[in-house]
Structure 1
Amino acid sequence: MVLLKIKFPFQRRVRLAQGLWLLSWLAVLGGTFTLALGIFLKTELRRRAEVMDNTEIHAVPNTLMLVGLASLGINFFAGRICQDSLDAGRFPRWKTFLQPFFVLALLFTFLMLVSVIMSYAMKGNLEESLKIGLKNGIRFYKDTDTPGRCFQKETIDRLQMEFRCCGNTNYKDWFEVQWISNRYLDFTSKDVKDRVRSNVDGRYLMDGVPFSCCNPNSPRPCIQHKLTNNSAHYNYEYQTEELNLFNRGCRQALVNYYMGLMNTIGAGVLSVFLLQMSVLVSLRYLQTAMEGVVGQENTEIETEGYLLEKSVKETVKEFMDSVLKFFQTTQVGAAGEVGEKAATPAS
């Protein structure tokens, strides 16, 4: 049973080909937009690579760049097909090309939809990646003389100032690590010795944070040392006073930033996906309508266009049968080659 059949008089076919030509070039812009979004997201993720633990999140921009490039090629050929559809003598040369073209086009269009779903579903991976990455970044903050970690301090400081955040979960994360290098500690000082001896791992821990945690909007000069000591500062109450530090953790700040980006990108790519599907559906109608003209003396006759020659169930079954047949032929051919090699006597 033919699915969604529509009659196409000559003028209607011409209008379809002309409108689809414009739509395909609009979809080329959509593909360029998708590619640009992928490059932008990739760049933004690489900027924060030092505070991310894995690269799984890069699957989203990589997929966007792939489908963006594929969309450029698909819609370029769609435009050429539309031009040749205006001349019944030139259309037949596309006949053998169109079936594999539609298979590849649907595959990459489906990948575009997958990238939209991924952009909404990667929050868990992103949080876990940032949790471990930021934890390591804070731990290596002091290692400015260690190769490979020389710029870790600068990265964390710039991150905290740019995103107005402090620590991984909050500012108390800095209390659990030694973030001041030993080269800047006076080990002849009793206070330093006592702090180092009081720690099992021999680390210099204190209730302080780096300067980059200070909130410039606070009316009070920044208190970044002895944060839990009420008597160390005038008119200061640790439990009740709102600290003049950034209260939000950097993990939450970065998750909000990247998920906001991905949600916006997902909405944009979804629009491109709908545009791409419109191109493919219209092109399928144009193809089937033009096939009725091929071989006819009168090229201005009325023809019928449709999406599928059979029902969806029959079409899927036929496609799966052809795929299985292809793989069976490949396996038989491979087994034959092995048998021929085994039958050849050794020289």
Structure 2
Amino acid sequence: MAVLKVKFTKTKRDKLAQVLWILNWISVVTGILLFSLGLFLKVEINKRGELMAERDVQYVPNMLIAVGLIACAINFLGGKICYDCVDAAKFLRWKLIMLPYLICTFFFTFCVLVGAVMCYAMLGELQEALELGLTRAMRFYKDTDLPGRCFLKRTVDLLQIEFQCCGNSGYRDWFQIQWVSNRYLDMSQKEVLDRFRSNVEGKYLMDGVPFSCCNVNSPRPCIQHQITNNSAHFNYEHQTEEQNLWMQGCRQALLHHYSSITRSIGLTVLVTWLFELSVLTGVRYLQTSLENVLRQGDPNSESEGWLLERSFIETARTNLNIIKSLGKSNQIDAAAHADPNINAPSTSKAHYGPDDVPPRPGPAASCQ
């Protein structure tokens, strides 16, 4: 029994073909949109690539770019097919192509759905890449005179100013690393030497942060050194002075920035998937209804269209049997290539040793 059977008159078939022609051209525009969104996400990730660890987070924008290009090609072909299918006679040109086209479009539509899911799933890997990348960037913050790290300080400062954040998870992360270069430290001062000696790894650690951590909305001048020493500043309590520095960590700020982008893109891709699914459904109805018209022989007659000619269970069982038969034929072909002598007739002659006596021929048969 056919699934979701619908009856179509000649007028309804023509209108369906015209509407699908328009929808396919709209789908070409959505393909360009997917390509643009993937390109935008790729640029946003590369823009702050220095602040991320080497993790494979480019697969999502790359997939969106590929899906967008394929969408343009598939829907352009679908628009041409639907335009010709207004006339049942022209449908004969595309009859053999329609089924492979529908199968390819189905798998493409599934890839669009996978792309929408991946937009939400990439946040976990992005969080790990940001956590490791920001820790590395803060560690090399002071190395302004080393090749490859000359502009890392500028990158971190601009990040903290733009996103109003400080450190990886908070401003206290700067207390655990040496972010001041040795060439700016006076080694003749006892205080500097004591700080080096007090640390096991021989680093100059202090309770201070870079200037980019200062909150521009603070009512008092920024206190970026001796932050935890209340007596070093007038009328100061570091546990309550939350307006002095940015409290949010840069990892959370960047993750929020990228999550808002990926969620918006994921929602757009999901809507695109629903739109593509509706177009695919319409093309399937158009194909089956026109094939039934060709069977009847009258182009003006009514015809039935459906999504599946049999039920879901019967269709799945048929496809499973086809896959099993293909698998068995592949196994037979592989075995034949591995041993070409299988089932081959024996053409070897008998060999006898020196003590063996060959059998004598029997008496000739009588002709009588």
Write the mapping of 1:293-332 to structure 2, written as runs, cut at 5 A.
Answer: 293-294=293-294, 297-332=297-332
User: Residue 174 of structure 1 contacts residue 208 of structure 1 at CA under 8 Å; is this kept in 2?
Assistant: yes
User: Residue 5 of structure 2 contacts residue 306 of structure 2 at CA under 8 Å; is this kept in 1?
Assistant: yes
User: Residue 131 of structure 1 contacts residue 251 of structure 1 at CA under 8 Å; is this kept in 2?
Assistant: yes
Residue 125 (1) aligns with residue 125 (2): yes
Instruction: Tell me how far 1:297 sits from its aligned partner.
Output: 4.6
Partner of 2:184: 184
Q: Which amino acid aligns with 1:72?
A: C
Instruction: Tell me how far 1:150 sits from its aligned partner.
Output: 2.3
- CA offsets 1:41-83 (integer angstroms, 9 cap, x no match): 1111111212222433322222212221221122111101101
SS at match of 1:304: strand
Write the mapping of 1:330-345 to structure 2, written as runs, cut at 5 A.
Answer: 330-340=330-340
Structure 2 portions without partners, runs of 5+: 345-368
SS at match of 1:228: coil
TM-score by length of 2: 0.88
Residue 7 (1) aligns with residue 2 (2): no
User: Residue 208 of structure 1 contacts residue 226 of structure 1 at CA under 8 Å; is this kept in 2?
Assistant: yes
Distance 2:220 2:293 in 1: 82
Write the mapping of 1:1-347 to structure 2, written as runs, cut at 5 A.
Answer: 1-294=1-294, 297-340=297-340
Instruction: Tell me how far 1:341 sits from its aligned partner.
Output: 10
Which stretch of structure 1 is more off in the superposition, 333-342 or 8-17?
333-342
Q: Which amino acid aligns with 2:93?
A: R
SS at match of 2:58: helix
Distance 1:96 1:261 in 2: 42
Q: Which amino acid aligns with 2:142?
A: K
Distance 1:229 1:325 in 2: 79
Which stretch of structure 1 is more off in the superposition, 144-153 or 131-140?
144-153
Give the aligned CA root-mean-square deviation in angstroms: 1.9
Instruction: Tell me how far 1:105 sits from its aligned partner.
Output: 1.2
Instruction: Tell me how far 1:96 sits from its aligned partner.
Output: 2.1
User: Residue 207 of structure 1 contacts residue 225 of structure 1 at CA under 8 Å; is this kept in 2?
Assistant: yes
Q: Which amino acid aligns with 2:189?
A: S
Which stretch of structure 1 is more off in the superposition, 139-148 or 327-336?
327-336
User: Residue 217 of structure 2 contacts residue 243 of structure 2 at CA under 8 Å; is this kept in 1?
Assistant: no
User: Residue 67 of structure 1 contacts residue 109 of structure 1 at CA under 8 Å; is this kept in 2?
Assistant: no
Distance 1:328 1:43 in 2: 48
Instruction: Tell me how far 1:197 sits from its aligned partner.
Output: 0.7
SS at match of 1:87: coil
Instruction: Tell me how far 1:296 sits from its aligned partner.
Output: 5.2
Structure 1 portions without partners, runs of 5+: none
- CA offsets 1:233-281 (integer angstroms, 9 cap, x no match): 2221222322411110001101111111111111111111111001100
Distance 2:290 2:25 in 1: 21
Instruction: Tell me how far 1:126 sits from its aligned partner.
Output: 2.0
- CA offsets 1:161-207 (integer angstroms, 9 cap, x no match): 11110000000000000011112222112111111111000000011
- CA offsets 1:14-59 (integer angstroms, 9 cap, x no match): 0000011001111111111111111111111111212222433322
| Structure ID, larger Rg | 2
Distance 2:282 2:86 in 1: 15
User: Residue 51 of structure 1 contacts residue 137 of structure 1 at CA under 8 Å; is this kept in 2?
Assistant: yes
- CA offsets 1:294-341 (integer angstroms, 9 cap, x no match): 265531111111100111122122223323333433343333333349
* Distance 1:40-1:333 versus aligned 2 partners, 3 A rule: same
* Distance 1:202-1:32 versus aligned 2 partners, 3 A rule: same
Distance 1:177 1:301 in 2: 81
Q: Which amino acid aligns with 1:321?
A: N
Which stretch of structure 1 is more off in the superposition, 213-222 or 313-322?
313-322
User: Residue 63 of structure 1 contacts residue 112 of structure 1 at CA under 8 Å; is this kept in 2?
Assistant: no
Distance 2:256 2:156 in 1: 18
TM-score by length of 1: 0.94
Distance 2:163 2:87 in 1: 59
Q: Which amino acid aligns with 1:4?
A: L
User: Residue 55 of structure 2 contacts residue 125 of structure 2 at CA under 8 Å; is this kept in 1?
Assistant: no
Which stretch of structure 1 is more off in the superposition, 30-39 or 294-303?
294-303
- Count of residues in correspondence between the two structures: 343
User: Residue 142 of structure 2 contacts residue 180 of structure 2 at CA under 8 Å; is this kept in 1?
Assistant: yes
- CA offsets 1:116-160 (integer angstroms, 9 cap, x no match): 122223332222221111111111111222233222212211111
Distance 2:66 2:296 in 1: 41
* Distance 1:303-1:106 versus aligned 2 partners, 3 A rule: same
Q: Which has the higher helix share?
A: 1
SS at match of 2:188: coil
SS at match of 1:294: helix
Distance 2:286 2:70 in 1: 21
